[in-house]
Amino acid sequence: MKKNTKTQKKKLKNFNPKLKEECGVFGISNIKEASTLTALGLHALQHRGQEGCGIVTFDGLKYHLEKRFGLVGDNFNKEKVLKKLPGNFAIGHNRYSTTGENTLRNIQPFFADTNAGGIGISHNGNLTNSISLRKKLVEDGAIFYTTSDTETIVQLIARSKRAKTIDKIVDAIFQIQGGYALVMLTQTSLIGVRDPYGIRPLVIGKLKNSYVLASETCALDIIGAKFVREVENGEIVLIENDQLKSIKPFPPKKIRPCVFEYIYFARPDSVLNCKTAYEHRKNLGAELAKENKTEADIVVPVPDSGNAAALGFAQFLNKKFELGLVRNHYVGRTFIEPSQQIRSLGVKLKLNANKSAIKDKKIILVDDSLVRGTTSHKIVKMLYDAGAKEVHVKIACPEIRYPDFYGVDTPTKKELLAANKNNDEICEYIGAKSLSFLSIDGMYKAVGFENRNQNYPQLTDHYFTGDYPVKPIDELGDSKITQLSLLSTASNN
């Protein structure tokens, strides 16, 4: 008994109800081997989440659901598993979460039976009002099975008084706020939804006559599907009988996609606003080089996140580009989650200095971003230990001073280095000879704008500016429901 209470307390302490999910979503309609194609799509989106994965299919009569911990390639690679997922309609999900409950229940897609029929749902993003909505739903008698904000959407859909599923969905999305991309499967349709600002990405593809929905275009490439267009901000796409219907229930807004997709998150070969993330990142590196001229012998990327920016930097200044750090590709990102202690270890597990390239050299070290400074701190020391003469750190985005609430994993303001230290102090902390960040306007220029429109910024850029397009209501609100859900989930484990 005593032991149980202790375990429960520990679970409560470690439990974070606001799961920070970056996640990848995928869906495909009316095609043979839909589950295998979905597994391939999820495999291409693996960088968006490695904690768990799942697929829901519909075979015309019944739904089938398989969820697993770990990587897609380790779980959905065998006929035995894929045979359990028959049907020509499928959706899938890759889950990422740094903290919070690591239970099978939180792995998506979620499935619910409503009075209009079954519905499967995959969600990328984070709702900013899910705790307050959850509180109201619980007061109204709802019973929650998971700690994920996605279940709030499921509950809202199930409780809608409207008759048709699509109307129930519209009902639900009018109540939720935040950054989200949803892919849903009903008995008759595949449905995609993107939040009113288009913070989280969602694209439409076509494979023969079948429509495909995915977080990024790299998931279309892997199955040979053609990129059709992005789901627009605030748009619902309803795919039925190989026809796509667009529904726009919200008052129109200009799109403000998350700039971090450009900087770090999207796979380099994915297309964002007509250019690959690779091209955008090279431009970020080139802008950084324009703004910060430093004498050095070589440019070295932090692999893999800084590769494209470092290449852009080196090419712009016509400097030598060297692979001064070697990455162990057999270490997944799972190794560097979730605690700070393991994160620090992770850098050593993952990277090693390439002495032959850096000894006695003045180095410009380029990374895409600096968050807590753990990576830079370790790498700079590693390079000096390996014989580097000087290490100048260049970061291909501005100083991250504000946390995210729309689905990207960022720590609290307290842990964000640039929120608490000035440039000299950060430089001292990471042990570099000098440190430079890209300016905000430089960042806008690099991804295709003249500069930042102060009245209506073209991107969701709160990391650097504190300008949150959607108010983080749960952050400002009361935490009663947090306690409630926390107790019920911890004791159910």
Determine, following the binding rule CB under 6 A, whether residue 368 of this chain makes contact with ligand AMP. Answer: yes
User: Is 23 among the catalytic positions?
Assistant: yes
Determine, following the binding rule CB under 6 A, whether residue 374 of this chain makes contact with ligand AMP. Answer: yes
CA distances to 66, 256, 369, 441 from 284, rounded to whole Å, are: 40, 18, 11, 11
Give the count of residues interacting with ligand AMP (CB under 6 A): 16
> Distance between CA atoms of 341 and 123, rounded to whole angstroms?
30
**Closest approach of Cβ 336 to ligand AMP, in Å?**
8
CA distances to 18, 216, 263, 266, 279 from 276, rounded to whole Å, are: 31, 11, 11, 9, 5
Q: Could you check whether the bond before residue 109 is cis, i.e. omega within 30 degrees of 0?
A: yes
Determine, following the binding rule CB under 6 A, whether residue 310 of this chain makes contact with ligand AMP. Answer: no
Site string for ligand AMP, 252-291 (x = CB under 6 A): ------------x---------------------------
Binding segment for ligand AMP (CB under 6 A), chosen from 119-127, 373-381, 472-480, 482-490, is 373-381
CB of 98 or CB of 130, closer to ligand AMP: 98
Cβ atoms of 59 and 46 within 8 Å: the answer is no
* Cα–Cα nearest to 211, from 408, 26, 455, 477: 26
**Closest approach of Cβ 369 to ligand AMP, in Å?**
5
* Cα–Cα nearest to 155, from 187, 387, 141, 274: 141
Phi/psi at 78 (5° precision): -115, 145
Residues 395-454 that bind ligand AMP (CB under 6 A): 408-410
Cβ atoms of 296 and 360 within 8 Å: the answer is no
CB of 227 or CB of 429, closer to ligand AMP: 429
Indicate the pairing of strand 24-28 with strand 210-214.
Answer: antiparallel
Determine, following the binding rule CB under 6 A, whether residue 373 of this chain makes contact with ligand AMP. Answer: yes
3-class DSSP state for residue 105? helix
- Containing 79, the helix (H) or strand (E) segment is helix 79-82
- Containing 303, the helix (H) or strand (E) segment is none
Determine, following the binding rule CB under 6 A, whether residue 215 of this chain makes contact with ligand AMP. Answer: no
Cβ atoms of 130 and 193 within 8 Å: the answer is no
CB of 371 or CB of 432, closer to ligand AMP: 371
> Distance between CA atoms of 47 and 427, rounded to whole angstroms?
29
**Closest approach of Cβ 71 to ligand AMP, in Å?**
16
Q: Could you check whether the bond before residue 398 is cis, i.e. omega within 30 degrees of 0?
A: no
Question: Which of 151, 279, 287, 367 touches ligand AMP (CB under 6 A)?
Answer: 367
Binding segment for ligand AMP (CB under 6 A), chosen from 236-244, 248-256, 363-371, 460-468, is 363-371
CB of 232 or CB of 415, closer to ligand AMP: 415
Question: Which of 46, 305, 458, 489 touches ligand AMP (CB under 6 A)?
Answer: 305
Site string for ligand AMP, 190-209 (x = CB under 6 A): --------------------
Determine, following the binding rule CB under 6 A, whether residue 485 of this chain makes contact with ligand AMP. Answer: no
Q: Which residues are at the interface with ligand AMP (CB under 6 A)?
A: 264, 302, 305, 367-376, 408-410
Task: Please identify every residue annotated as catalytic.
Answer: 23
